[in-house]
């Protein structure tokens, strides 16, 4: 997988992701990567997908759900770093500035025009309402002007569907661990677009815990990638942090106790005038999170009787999580699937993948579709009546 990067004058990073990664383990893609032959054939469904739920403006062209013809991401992360987190107003304003350029680039890199597009898909929730509205408005405008069907996609369903892109043979049912900045869900993907949530976080999401702990130990924002990098230099057994078990819901997660334990160690060290080894804290914290995530996911596969496990969301790009999950899956006879790291974090290709299966089921949204910041996962009733929710 090749990523062309360009830092623009305002600090926004413009990325074009090309090809597919077949060397990152997991199940290998059987078909050739998209991008070279754009002519398509009759019966093909070519989707223009848009994502703007947080701090990435993204557009992609995806054919038949699994072939990515173009994948453009405009990342604002550098703009928010000085504030220690995403500032919603800045995010919305930048989305407005960047969205048309991203869509234009996605079409041109795919070698298609708006006339060639069969469906316009967009993330309509969950996320920051002002940010979501930019993508939703753009998608509605194109759908109306071109008279093309419109499909709203749940952001997390997009993350799960990222697994379909590089794993052409992955089909439901399977178990998926979804770990992002706002979600920690253990889900059984029963069919395309059909989800049963079997576990979720009681407090912080996994990514949120990474971000908060990174801030506390002085690594700054964005916390996940910084802890991942720092942990490589640290001793994961330097500290023993608690791994919460919830007695009445064995697949639920809780990370707030772990976060407090890290804060206690920091305060203790301060009071005793000792200097903490950042890398040791990062590695020990990461180990505690990863062991819980992997433990729950493997247990779910075994108890529910599934032999396929996928991971999704920003935290799924974590090196330690990928390594331990791979090892445990191999030890338990479970086939492990994971997107390349750049498809784990927010992108529009995953939205195009999810939208394809919705399209095949006959899902269509009206032009009164609205952004739904707290959209629940798998709520089909709500998705069919998005504008009226």
Give the span between the Cα atoms of 147 and 241, in whole angstroms. Answer: 56
Query: Per rule CB under 6 A, is residue 123 in the interface with ligand KG4?
Result: no
Minimal distance in Å, beta carbon 41 to ligand KG4? 33
Decide: 227 and 315 in contact? Cβ < 8 Å: no
Residue with Cβ nearer ligand KG4 (280 or 346): 346
Minimal distance in Å, beta carbon 76 to ligand KG4? 12
Q: Within 10 Å of residue 198's Cβ, how many Cβ atoms?
A: 18
* Residue 372 interacts with which of ligand KG4, Zn ion, none, CB < 5 to 8 Å by class: none
Task: Give the ranges where the chain is alpha helix by DSSP (H).
Answer: 77-81, 88-110, 129-146, 155-166, 206-216, 223-231, 256-271, 278-304, 319-331, 341-344, 349-360, 380-384
Query: Per rule CB under 5 A, is residue 252 in the interface with Zn ion?
Result: no
Minimal distance in Å, beta carbon 58 to Zn ion? 10
Residue with Cβ nearer ligand KG4 (199 or 222): 222
Query: Per rule CB under 5 A, is residue 123 in the interface with Zn ion?
Result: no
Of the candidate residues 125, 158, 199, 224, the single one contacting ligand KG4 (CB under 6 A): 224
Residue with Cβ nearer ligand KG4 (34 or 314): 314
Residues 188-207, one symbol each (x = binds ligand KG4 by CB under 6 A, - = not), give -------------------x
Residue numbers 126-185 binding Zn ion by CB under 5 A: 180
Residue numbers 338-357 binding ligand KG4 by CB under 6 A: 345-346
Of the candidate residues 318, 353, 356, 357, the single one contacting ligand KG4 (CB under 6 A): 318
* Residue 224 interacts with which of ligand KG4, Zn ion, none, CB < 5 to 8 Å by class: ligand KG4
Residues 6+ apart with CB under 8 A from 293: 177, 179, 184, 206, 253, 315, 321, 325
Decide: 241 and 285 in contact? Cβ < 8 Å: yes
Query: Per rule CB under 6 A, is residue 254 in the interface with ligand KG4?
Result: no
- Residue 285: name the closest of 300, 267, 265, 269 by CA: 265
Which residues on neighbouring strands pair with residue 17, listed in sequence order? 3
Q: How many CA atoms lie within 13 A of 250 on its CB side?
A: 8
Question: Could you give the C-alpha distances from 117 to 149, 166, 363, in angstroms and in order?
Answer: 10, 22, 17
List contacts with ligand KG4 (CB under 6 A). Answer: 54, 159, 180-182, 207, 210-211, 222-225, 228, 313-315, 317-318, 345-346
List contacts with Zn ion (CB under 5 A). Answer: 180, 346
């Amino acid at each position: 997988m090749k990523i062309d990067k360009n830092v623009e004058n305002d600090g926004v990073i413009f990325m074009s992701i090309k090809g597919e990664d077949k060397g990152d383990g997991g199940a290998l893609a059987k078909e050739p990567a998209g991008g070279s032959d754009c002519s398509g054939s009759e019966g093909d469904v070519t989707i223009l997908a848009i994502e703007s739920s947080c701090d990435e403006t993204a557009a992609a062209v995806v054919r038949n759900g699994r072939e990515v013809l173009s994948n453009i991401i405009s990342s604002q992360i550098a703009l928010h770093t000085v504030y220690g987190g995403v500032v919603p107003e800045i995010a919305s304003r930048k989305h407005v500035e960047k969205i048309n350029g991203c869509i234009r680039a996605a079409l041109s890199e795919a070698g298609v025009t708006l006339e060639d597009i069969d469906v316009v898909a967009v993330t309509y929730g969950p996320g920051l309402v002002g940010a979501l509205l930019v993508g939703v408005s753009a998608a509605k405008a194109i759908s109306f002007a071109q008279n093309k069907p419109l499909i709203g996609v749940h952001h997390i369903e997009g993350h799960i569907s990222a697994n379909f892109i590089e794993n052409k043979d992955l089909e439901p049912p399977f178990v998926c661990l979804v770990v992002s900045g706002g979600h920690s869900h253990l889900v059984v993907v029963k069919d395309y677009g059909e989800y049963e949530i079997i576990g979720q976080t009681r407090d912080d999401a996994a990514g949120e815990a990474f971000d908060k702990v990174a801030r506390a130990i002085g690594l700054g924002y964005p916390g996940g990638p910084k802890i991942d990098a720092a942990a490589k230099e640290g001793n994961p057994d330097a500290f023993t942090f608690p791994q919460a078990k919830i007695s009445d819901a064995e697949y639920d997660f809780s990370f707030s106790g772990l976060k407090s334990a890290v804060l206690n160690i920091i305060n203790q060290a301060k009071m005793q005038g000792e200097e903490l080894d950042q890398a040791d804290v990062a590695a020990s914290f990461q180990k505690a999170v990863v062991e819980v995530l992997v433990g729950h996911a493997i247990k779910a596969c075994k108890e529910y009787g599934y032999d396929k496990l996928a991971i999704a969301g920003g935290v799924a790009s974590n090196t330690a999580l990928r390594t331990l999950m791979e090892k445990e899956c191999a030890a338990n006879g479970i086939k492990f699937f994971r997107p390349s790291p750049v498809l784990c974090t927010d992108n529009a290709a995953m939205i195009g993948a999810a939208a394809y299966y919705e399209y095949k089921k006959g899902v269509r949204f009206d032009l009164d579709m609205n952004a739904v910041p707290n959209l629940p996962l798998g709520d089909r009733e709500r998705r069919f009546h998005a504008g009226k929710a």
